[in-house]
Amino acid sequence: MASMTPTAESSPRRRRPGIPLGRLFGFPLHMSWSVVVLVVLVTLLYGQVRDVAVGFGFAVCLLGSVLLHELGHAFTARRLGIGVRGITLEIFGGYTEMERDAPTWRAELLVSLAGPAVSLGLGLASAAGALVLPGGNAVHEVVLLLALANLIVAAFNLLPGLPLDGGRALRAAVWRITGEQQRATVVAARCGQVIGVVTGAAAVLLYLSDRFSAFGLVFMLLVAFTLWQGATAGVRLARVPLIDVARLARPIFTVPTGTPLAEAQRRAVESAPPGSALAVADSSGKLVALVQARAAEAVPAARRPWVSVDAVARDLGAIRAVPVGLRGAEALKVLQASPAGEYLVTNDGQVVGVLRTADVARLLHARDQGRGHRESAR
């Protein structure tokens, strides 16, 4: 995040990216139309108090700070091997959208703290600049405002509650202590809900005590609502079982092309790990097809010695693939976006296993049954 609202580093669903601005250091960059509203509001509001030029300069520099904040997240994610879909600037700040969840608590911690660290550095550098520059001019005023804004952004973002960066850091810490990412998400999201309520209540109290303008009240209430919304989404996400493609993937047992189905099944029973997926390799040993379990079971036992595995197999090129590192809500989102009975699990382009939708469905069903038992016991 790079304002007083959260960064969606790995959101449960893709947001509308806004106006495409090209690429920056390889990251797709977008801007929401609301940014124009932000620039105009800051310019006009500050112009009523002091100077329009200072207000405009501050708004533009603030957007630059937001972008640098998000680049902190993006570069850290890239260094840790987490793909970045893009960076979007919005009226309340910005967000960096990742291709998948952080694989470890340490990666989660580093990515979450990278943005506030950039804002803190910008705030301190601007404060130092304000001390060096001669006062009484527009440049000094913009630099001073920028220092204050970045220090506030860094401090607010570090509050320990999702969807703020500090909430992601809290989730990483709880994940490290408990070893459970889902529980950590619930804890951080509940803290985020509390922060949202406190922010809204504080805004109302400050307004009633004449310390906030009507505009400030509306702005902070919108921030509070955004925090509550993001935290509530985090609670919902935690209810999704931690789908780990690497754990759910079935190993592959390969037989040569032309092998009778009965012989292939016999070899699998004798040599393959339980639950393995049967696959077909060509004469060079290259994997070329995957035996369809339902099609194989539909062949009468008496005919299986006379039916080749190729007759009940599907070419690999016709089967969707998912990366082995896909986990959590991101995994569920990908599977829902591309429904299929089974998927090839790949690692650096190599097929390493098979994910069957039925296995995911059983995991979800077990979650629902467990929840039902807990609710009935209340």
296 shares its domain with 313: yes
**pLDDT per position as a tens digit, 228-273:** 988 988 887 776 666 788 889 999 999 999 999 999 999 999 999 9
199 shares its domain with 321: no
The one-character DSSP state at 250 is B
Neighbours of 330 (CB within 10 A): 20
Residue 372's pLDDT is: 39
Which range of residues forms the domain containing residue 39?
1-158
Residue 77's pLDDT is: 95
CA neighbor of 230 nearest in space, from 10, 56, 54 = 10
Structure tokens at 291: 């035996």
Most confident of 17-26, 66-75, 94-103, 328-337: 66-75
Would strands 252-256 and 277-281 be described as parallel, antiparallel, or unpaired?
parallel
Whether cis (ω within 30° of 0) applies to the bond prior to 241 is no
Q: Is 336 helix (H, G, I), strand (E, B) or coil?
A: helix
What's the chain's average pLDDT? 85
Residue 9's pLDDT is: 45
pLDDT over threshold 90, residue 150: yes
CB 116, CB 2: distance < 8 Å: no
**Least reliable range by pLDDT among 73-77, 116-120, 317-321, 345-349:** 345-349
140 shares its domain with 254: no
279 shares its domain with 362: yes
Mean pLDDT of 103-123: 95
pLDDT over threshold 80, residue 49: no
pLDDT over threshold 50, residue 155: yes
215 shares its domain with 362: no
Final residue belonging to a domain, choices 143, 158, 173: 158
What are the φ and ψ backbone dihedral angles of 209, each rounded to 5 degrees? -95, 15
CB 97, CB 8: distance < 8 Å: yes
Domain count for the chain: 3
2 shares its domain with 126: yes
CA neighbor of 16 nearest in space, from 117, 86, 101 = 86
Residue 17's pLDDT is: 57
CA neighbor of 142 nearest in space, from 53, 38, 44 = 53
300 shares its domain with 360: yes
Residue 215's pLDDT is: 75
Final residue belonging to a domain, choices 239, 261, 286: 239
Please give the distance of CA 155 from its chain centroid, rounded to a whole number: 22
CB 249, CB 352: distance < 8 Å: yes
Q: What CATH number corresponds to the domain at position 332?
A: 3.10.580.10
253 shares its domain with 356: yes
169 shares its domain with 154: no
**pLDDT per position as a tens digit, 355-375:** 998 888 887 765 544 443 333
Q: Using pLDDT thresholds of 50, 70 and 90, give the confidence band for residue 208.
A: very high
Residue 217's pLDDT is: 86
| H or E segment to which residue 88 belongs | strand 84-90
Tell me the CA end-to-end span of the chain in Å, nearest whole number.
39
Report d(CA 118, CA 82) in Å as an integer.
19
Exposure of 369 by Cβ count < 10 A (0-12 exposed, 13-18 middle, 19+ buried)? Answer: exposed
Percent of the chain surpassing pLDDT 70: 89
**pLDDT per position as a tens digit, 122-139:** 999 999 999 999 887 889
185 shares its domain with 290: no
**What's the Cα-to-Cα distance from 123 to each of 60, 120, 152, 155, 289, rounded to whole Å?**
16, 5, 9, 11, 57
Residue 377's pLDDT is: 33
User: Bridge partners of 87?
Assistant: 29, 96
221 shares its domain with 148: no
Mean pLDDT of 23-35: 90
Active site residues: 70
Final residue belonging to a domain, choices 109, 137, 158: 158
49 shares its domain with 149: yes
Residue 158's pLDDT is: 95
Exposure of 126 by Cβ count < 10 A (0-12 exposed, 13-18 middle, 19+ buried)? Answer: buried
Report d(CA 171, CA 165) in Å as an integer.
10
